[in-house]
């Protein structure tokens, strides 16, 4: 699974003109699910998201997590994150999970985040969404949680 995280002062998602999700201080998390991802990757990504230190402490260093600052996560599915852009002029999505698997693992991620007690909101899988944010910093990181490699 891939997550593009952005530290935000606010973010929201609109679908069909309706504001379906919004947060204040926290992280906007765009989530891409890859073909080989399994539930373990969703669980591990949830753990990393709530503990990832992107907020400043009293000394101005990034030492605090979204949990530490009482912030929220806005989780938004975005399959284009898994695109292969290494050749040509059109991205390839062959490494993206099929829609049913992608939806199931995105739901698993949301459930795993909910289990941590961190406040969260979510976008809608498969919907045409308009996502707005105020990136604080700007601070943006790309996280990848990969399936374990087979031992040969």
CATH number assigned to the domain comprising residue 117: 3.50.80.10
Assigned domain for 151 exists: no
39 phi/psi in degrees, rounded to 5 = -55, -35
pLDDT, tens digit only, all 152 positions of the chain: 999 999 999 999 999 999 999 999 999 999 999 999 999 999 999 999 999 999 999 999 999 999 999 999 999 999 999 999 999 999 999 999 999 999 999 999 999 999 999 999 999 999 999 999 999 999 999 999 987 665 55
Assigned domain for 104 exists: yes
pLDDT, position 146: 84
Residue 10's DSSP bridge partners are 134
Assigned domain for 38 exists: yes
Residue positions annotated with a catalytic role: 78-80
Assigned domain for 26 exists: yes
pLDDT, position 149: 62
What is the C-alpha separation between 149 and 82, in angstroms, rounded?
A: 18
The DSSP secondary-structure symbol of 33 reads: -
Assigned domain for 68 exists: yes
Assigned domain for 152 exists: no
Give residue 41's domain range: 2-85+92-144
What is the C-alpha separation between 116 and 94, in angstroms, rounded?
A: 32
Into how many domains does the chain fold?
A: 1
Residue 13's DSSP bridge partners are 21, 131
Return the number of other C-beta atoms located less than 10 Å from residue 70's C-beta. Answer: 11
Distances (CA, A) of 117 to 70, 102, 106, 111, 113: 10, 23, 17, 10, 7
Assigned domain for 150 exists: no
The pTM assigned to this predicted structure is 0.94
């Amino acid at each position: 699974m891939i997550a593009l995280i952005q530290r935000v002062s606010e973010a929201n998602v609109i679908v069909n003109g309706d504001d379906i999700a919004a947060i204040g201080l926290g992280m906007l998390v765009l989530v891409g699910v890859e073909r080989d991802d399994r539930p373990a990757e969703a669980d591990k990504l949830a753990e990393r998201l709530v503990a990832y230190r992107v907020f400043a402490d009293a000394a101005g260093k990034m030492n605090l997590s979204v949990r530490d600052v009482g912030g929220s996560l806005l989780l938004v599915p975005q399959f284009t994150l898994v695109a292969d852009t290494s050749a040509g002029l059109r991205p390839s999505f062959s490494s993206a999970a099929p829609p049913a698997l992608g939806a199931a693992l995105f739901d698993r991620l949301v459930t795993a985040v909910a289990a941590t007690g961190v406040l969260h909101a979510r976008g809608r899988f498969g919907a045409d969404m308009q996502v707005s944010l105020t990136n604080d910093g700007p601070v943006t990181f790309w996280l990848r949680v990969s399936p374990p490699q087979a031992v040969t």
